[in-house]
Amino acid sequence: DTEVTQTPKHLVMGMTNKKSLKCEQHMGHRAMYWYKQKAKKPPELMFVYSYEKLSINESVPSRFSPECPNSSLLNLHLHALQPEDSALYLCASSHVAKNIQYFGAGTRLSVL
């Protein structure tokens, strides 16, 4: 099973809202990732968690706040987003020592 599950599939939010994206995997992977993807572009890395600790933050604005409550779950908390933050947000996971990342289907986010 190489499934990474993301919820919700679609999200529309206003600039003053607070929302959260969720990601879950049961492959025993101890590295989890958040990516942002704009249309017709490759995924851009935002955050990496390794053994439930934040190991990489690619200078992401503080209105995006990641959280890794346990080895299977990854959240991305959103607050005071801008319209330019509208994108597909992808979660991925991998073994720490292997680089094949398995992606979820993403959350399509629209900020109004």
Partner 1 sequence: GESVGLHLPTLSVQEGDNSIINCAYSNSASDYFIWYKQESGKGPQFIIDIRSNMDKRQGQRVTVLLNKTVKHLSLQIAATQPGDSAVYFCAETRLTYGNNRLAFGKGNQVVVIP
DSSP label at 52?
T
Cβ burial of 13 (10 Å; 0-12, 13-18, 19+) is middle
Residue 80 CB, nearest approach to partner 1 (Å): 26
Residue 2 CB, nearest approach to partner 1 (Å): 8
Cis peptide before 66 (omega within 30 of 0): no
Q: CB-wise, 16 or 99, nearer to partner 1?
A: 99
Residue 16 CB, nearest approach to partner 1 (Å): 29
Per-residue burial over 23-34, b = 16 or more CB atoms within 10 Å of its CB, e = otherwise:
bbbeeebbbbbb
Closest Cα to residue 24, out of 86, 110, 107?
Answer: 107
Q: CB-wise, 85 or 101, nearer to partner 1?
A: 101
Residue 57 CB, nearest approach to partner 1 (Å): 13
Q: CB-wise, 67 or 103, nearer to partner 1?
A: 103
Please report, as ranges, the residues that interact with partner 1 according to CB under 8 A: 2, 4, 6, 31, 33, 39-43, 45, 48, 50, 55-56, 90, 92, 94, 96-97, 99-106
